[in-house]
Structure 1
Amino acid sequence: MDMNTQTKILEAVLTKPENKTCADCNMKNPKWASITFGTFVCLRCSGMHRQLQVHITKIKSVNLDKWQPEVVELYKYINNYIANSYWEQRLPQGYNKLTIDSSPSEVESFIKDKYVNKRWVNTAMSEDPAKLYYRSRDEFEQYARRLYGSEETIATVNKDDKNQSTDAQKKQNVQIKTQQNQNQNQNSSDRKDQQAINQMSHHSQSNTQLDIGDLINLDAPSKPSHSQSNQNILNFSNQMNQPQQFIQSNNFNQMNQAGIIIKWVTIISQYVFWIEYESVTLKNNMNLLIQQQMMKNQMQQQYQFQQNPQQYSFNQGNMMMMNIPK
């Protein structure tokens, strides 16, 4: 069961009059549940339930936690009224239960007396309604009928919720079928396109096969005889009677030749681009090497000057004298 379905069911169960208030303090709109006892409780009481630890009571959020399917099924039938008919059966009339203004110590004392000490439980029953439901569904329904004084089955999911779940499932099935049909149509279209391409390719190959003699005499064709002219006219007439095939074959030959030309132009342009790129890179590397050599020479001159300034000046003067033209 996914979270959306779970939340819808629990929200529908919370709309029942018996579940609109907390099972322990009557605070409105409880959003937590003690799945051990089958009750809905408020945030404050849920915190006190947690202090009792999970071996006594286990708390779940209605909207945030994932519930087991059998627990959700339990809450379709049980409610706070049925649960408290056991836990508060001997609660004195007029007893001051918890309120919004109750202190934390009062909340702790009441919840421990109710669930741990079992101070007000129905002694005629050996187990609480939640355990009775898990042990025997029939006995639980009989107990609930006696409690409500009715022979009708109680506390099932609202019909609107069932209809919503059914509509969502139908919508999902329709989407799945639509997707399958689209995939089938796409596969069929792909197969047809491939068959058409194969037919055109085969027809092109048959039309492009030329004889050696035709290639030799291609530039200077001989004058056809009268019978050959009549035969050529007849062949052309037959081709014109099948205009679609004639146009397709010629168009495909032209497209094939154009595709070859475009392919070679692309290859040549890529090669030219590569040559230009390599030349620019080589030029940049040469400039970088020249700059590095010049910097190296400058550093050597500075080092020589620092070591022996007089000798450096004398060497520089001799170099200048050597460069003077005679």
Structure 2
Amino acid sequence: MSKKRLSVVVTRRLPDAVETRLSELFDVTLRTDDAPMTRAELAEAVKSADVLVPTITDTVDAALIGQAGEQLKLIANYGAGVDNIDVATARQRGILVSNTPGALTEDTADMTMALILAVTRRMPEGMSLMQKGDWTGWAPTALLGGRISGRRLGILGMGRIGQAVATRARAFGMQIHYHNRRRLHAETERSFDATYWESLDQMVARMDVISINCPHTPSTFHLMNARRLKLMKPDAVIVNTSRGEVIDENALTRMLRAGEIKGAGLDVYERGTDINPRLRELDNVVLLPHMGSATLEGRIEMGEKVIINIKTFDDGHRPPDQVVPSML
């Protein structure tokens, strides 16, 4: 007698190759449109599915997990960050949680460098000039940006992505500095010629560019608050390709408007799509719609990790990318 196939509910549209493979392996329910599931739809999903495949747009909190049926045994997140899931409550209910680490590292690091260059070289201002048809020709003093070679880059969060950013930034001639919960091994630190700062305040005050590459956890919420932002040099810039909640967005907006910070490049926002309208008006800010990891290759790799996690679980083993509360 053949084994019953796992019931898997996917909350968003995924690349065709991923959806096809999921359908071959499991009894899968896919989305027909790309809108996020409503709270009611998520509740129905956790009541019926053996495995839920949510994304960062789905809030899988204690209340939702409390509605789950006994059959739900795995939440296989399509994403590296799991701040959208109450991992501790899931664990108490005997539900495993997995994620997709590493799949987005290179793409996010690429976008971090793109934002650093875009802000320091004033690329959006140049593009706007061209699109409006206002360019009258080259001039020696027009749109003068800054050279990034020789500048000090302070990386907040030296995990996979932070280290990938450091590799790229070194190739551009930047000096690497970092703050992390734990200092890197000496050999790894030497490979980046990186300077470790135990005090985030002291690092922030001395950097030309700050890159946010840490996850959103209770301890990192508003890590870059108004007080810490005020420590930045007036000619410094800040970029964020991690989680919007790490920066106090209103405080950042006020300081950018006042010229107390030179510029910012943001791919993520504190309140999702509800972005401070005053932030949108500023010439010294580059805003992107959370596209740091948006490559087809990356999205397929994420899907492959989800499939491996589910398949390994289905075979009676621990998912290779299982997340436990102590990791957060």
The TM-score range, normalised by the shorter chain, is: under 0.3
Q: Which protein is richer in helix relative to its size?
A: 1
- TM-score of the pair, normalised by structure 2: 0.25
Q: Which protein is richer in strand relative to its size?
A: 2
Choose 1 or 2 for highest CA Rg. 1
